[in-house]
Each structure stands twice: as structure tokens, then as C-alpha cells.
A and B are shown apart, each in its own frame.
Chain A
Amino acid sequence: MSLEVIDVSGLATIQDSGRIGWRKFGVPTSGPMDRFAFNAANILAGNTPDHAAIEIGLGDIAFRALQDCVISVAGVGYGLSVYIWDFPLWSSYYVRAGWTIRLNKLNSGMWTYLAVAGGVLSQSILDSRSTYLRGHLGGRDGRQLQAGDVLKSGISSHPLTELAARTLPEDARPEYSDNLTLDVILGPQEKYFTEESIEKFLSSEYTMSRTSDRMGYRLEGRQLTHRNKSELISEGMTMGAIQIPSSGQPIVMMADSPTTGGYPKIGTVASADLPLLAQCVPEKSKIRFQATTVAKAQQKYRKLMSGLERIVEE
């Protein structure tokens, strides 16, 4: 089964669960910006989260189905139409050969995932199909998708008719919003900041800059002050880590985060809240931070991910 990209104005890349095991060599993980929506799309299509799907952001995309297939779409900020019908996201659909699938960008949200039963196939680089644009690795020749690309899918282990018309109920999804309070685990370098700055960080409102990308989200708000040093000797970091460079404005590392960095990290966004952050709209969403503990954050993440088991047949 295959899909042909017939039109694309957004940033569309092939992503799987990420390039695991190569970070010590300096290779970023990549993978989806919103892991929850990505996993949901895969599971709705009868795949495991290890399968590759298409991530679309910033603009529109349209496909033509070259054979009958089952697709699923999950995410925020997109309208879906299949053939002549408009359909809701967070569901799977049977698509006949020749039909057109359109994902049109709406005013809210950022990223949406289209999965195909059997998973999107592409060359696997360092054990992963995820696209790392800066390194020109993975996905379709290390680049974003363009019109004319034909994406083949694998063979699903389920009959297609069993996979269509499944949905993930709204109360099992993250509470996406344009007005967010994100849980943060403070540290490891909270001592690099004045107490007043930590207080400021936890009490003021941030917006996201337009210069944000898959590597990092740049936030704008009240300036934070380092106690004395604004650099440390480089150490490992991860998605969600909040670096404060000398400008005093936070940068939250995202899916294509460099593996190491040398700016002090005031904290890290809880895994359960990363999907909410990922879907923020530049210059629109309002972001606040509140301190939590690792134990609470892990509990919240387990609860969120268990929501993926609540897929129902319609």
C-alpha cells in the first residue's frame, strides 16, 4: 500500500519513536514532537509505537491513496478531510484507492500525525526511520517530504476492516490548551540562579518565539539572572530540559535536541506535559511553570500513557 504526496506547504517528516542508543556519539534522538499523539495515531492504525508515521506542522499537506488502506490521524491544529467528507482527528478511517486525504492547518496547535496500517516504510539509518533534518539523516533522504514522494507502507498484522473506525475518546487525551501551566522538575543547575530568578521563573508568563523549531522552543518573558556563571562544562541533556543562556530567556530542548549542552538548566518539563508544550502556538499560547517532584511527574506520565489503552471501536 502506498500514499503519494500531492501537495505540501507545511513541514512534513517521517518520524518513528526515535533514534535510540546513539546519543553518546552525538546523534540526537529526533522522533515525534508530541509523543502522545504520535503513539495514539500508530495504535489507532493497529501499529506499535515503533512504526514510522508522518509528522506535519506549520502548513498543509495532501495525499492520494494509491491502494486501499487504513489511516489514522491524531494531533492538534488540523482539519482532516478524506474524499468528500470532513472527519474528526484521533480516529482511524478506511481509505479507497484514488481518494484524496487532506490535512489543513487551523489556528491552534502545531503538530499532527498521520499513521498508515503497517507503518510508513523508509530507509532505516542508525536503527531508526526518524528524520533529523539538520543532520540530513533518516526518513526520506534526510529531508522533509515534497510533492511527488510516494510513501510505501508495511503489511499490517490485522485485517484492514478491523482497524477502521476506531477512536480515542477525548477524556483519554492530554488537555491541550493555549493557556498552560506546565509541571517542571527543578535542577540540576538551579543553584546557578538567584532565588529571585527561580521565583520569577515560577510566577511569570512566557510566550513562544517564532524562531522555535524541532530542536528547541525559545520562550520570551521576564529575564532571569545567573548568580555568577552563565556557562558550565558541557553535559548530557534531553527533551524538555530548560536551558538559560546569558540572554536570560529560556530555551526548552525539543525532539531534535543536541545530546549535550553547556548552559545552566533551571529545570526540565515533565514528560506528561511535553505534548502540551509541543502544541503551543508561537506568540499566542501563554505558558507558566510550576514545580513538581520526579515521583509525581512519573505518576502523571504513567497515567497519561495508560489513556492509550482506551481506544474504542465505533
Chain B
Amino acid sequence: MFTRKQKQKMQFKPRIVPLGDSSILIQLGDEIDPAVNRRVHALAGLVENSSIAGVIETVPAYATLLVHYDPLVLSFAQIKNILREKLTQIQENESRKPRQVEVPVRYGGEYGVDLELVASHLHLKVEEVIRIHSEKIYTVYMMGFTPGYPYMGKLDDALIMPRLEIPRTRVPAGAVAIAGLQTGIYSIDSPGGWNLIGWTPLKLFDPTSESPFLFEPGDEVKFIPENVS
């Protein structure tokens, strides 16, 4: 027997629709769900690896893949047919092994200024928040907001926090944050409304480096708590 939620998921019929005359959106679901997101990354991999003439780039998000293409090379009907074909191949590609990235985190203190507040709001001890947050392996659902910013999930239900009522005007790069069922890391100094619980010395975005981004969409991420002495 399937649960109602599983049935809903199986019933979602993929939609392929235009976003203007040079982008096309493939929608695989309508919620933040790890299984749906895995299919998005599987499809992104399939499209990128096929090097289709006229396809410029792809942008995977929670439940959608946006494909940017050159309308001087490909018509909408052509790209739609190609993508429909790729959709049927998702299953085989879904088993591909994602990259795994370990992220050392200093929880609390100067850069995790909200950690104690988070703990008291959730009726947990600080140590429990750290344990629960660092226990799980997260998936980079998508990237956006600022260059290199990873939207990760799914967070344990015990750690659900609302966003700050008034966003901070400046959050330092490397700040590890939570909001709702998601966790993220600020990639550059920027404004931000998530709860800051720690900080990583890793650089998420270095435009002059050979590999400018620490993460890519679909990565699996494990936080490793650092002992502050």
C-alpha cells in the first residue's frame, strides 16, 4: 500500500513548458522533496552529458530543470522533443553517485551567534542542536541567491526555525545557517535572514580559482563539528 503522499508524487505528470523563447522548463514535482530533486539532478546530468548543439546551460532547482537554449539554433519544438526523450532515460541515470563534500564547522561563538537562541526556541540543548544538524547527510538541492550559495536539505524536523523577522544587513561568508527544513552556507558577505549556528573556514566561492565553487548542485554534504579549544 502507498501513502497518500507517495501516490501524489507518482501522479505528478512532468510538464515541459516554455519560459520565453530561449528557455524551457521541465517540472518534475511541486514541492521540496529529496526524491523529486534527485530526478532533477539526474535529468540535468543527462542533458549536460549529451552536449546538444544549441543548449547553452541548465539550471536545476528543487523540482524543476530550466534549460537555456539558443533560438537561432534550436526551435522550441526541437528542444521539447529532445527533452521528452531525455525524461524517459532518467531512471537509469538516477543511480549515479553524487560527489561527497565534508564541511568542518565551528558551531556557536562569534559566527554562530544564533545557536543559543535556536536551542532555547527548540527546547534543546546546544549540544543536541549540533548533534542533530551534523548527523545527517544533506543534498545541495540547488544553488542561487549569491554565487556559490547552496540550498541544502532536508533538515531534521526538530530543527525547524522561522526566518529572522528582520534580515541582517551583513552576514559573513562561511556562516552556516538554518531556516525551515533547509540549511545553507553564506558564500559571500551578504545580507541574510537565516539563523546563524556556525561558521566554516572553507571558501565557497573564489572567482580566480581553477575550481571557483566548493559545491555543485546535487552534491552530498556532511558537516563535521570542530572542537573549539
Contact = CB atoms under 8 A, between A and B. Distances in A.
Nearest to A296: B21
A297 interface: yes
Contact of A260 (B15, B144, B147, B208): B144
Given A235-B62, A301-B72, A268 B19 contact: yes
Interface in A84-121: none
A255 to B, nearest CB: 14
Given A188-B17, A188-B25, A233-B63, A260 B142 contact: yes
Contact of B68 (A23, A27, A125): A23
A73 interface: no
A265 B58 CA distance: 19
A187 B18 contact: yes
Contacts of B15: 188
Contacts of A135: 146-147, 188
A135 B19 CA distance: 25
The 6 tightest CB contacts between A and B, nearest first, are A236-B66, A268-B20, A236-B59, A260-B144, A297-B21, A294-B76
Contact of B21 (A22, A188, A235, A294): A294
Contacts of A137: 147, 207
Contacts of A187: 17-19
A235 B67 CA distance: 11
B21 A185 contact: yes
Contact of A235 (B58, B64, B77, B145): B64
Interface in B24-45: 25, 27, 30-32, 44
A204 interface: no
B145 A125 contact: no
Interface residues of B, number: 48
A126 B92 CA distance: 32
Interface of B: 15, 17-23, 25, 27, 30-32, 44, 56-66, 68, 71-72, 75-77, 142-149, 151, 187-188, 207-208, 212-213, 216-217
Nearest to B188: A135
A271 B22 contact: yes
A298 B76 contact: yes
A311 interface: no
A125 B20 CA distance: 28
Interface string A221-249: 00000000000011111101100000000
B151 to A, nearest CB: 8
20 contacts: A20-B56, A21-B56, A21-B57, A24-B216, A135-B146, A137-B147, A185-B18, A188-B17, A188-B19, A233-B31, A233-B63, A235-B61, A235-B64, A236-B59, A236-B61, A240-B20, A241-B20, A260-B61, A268-B20, A271-B20
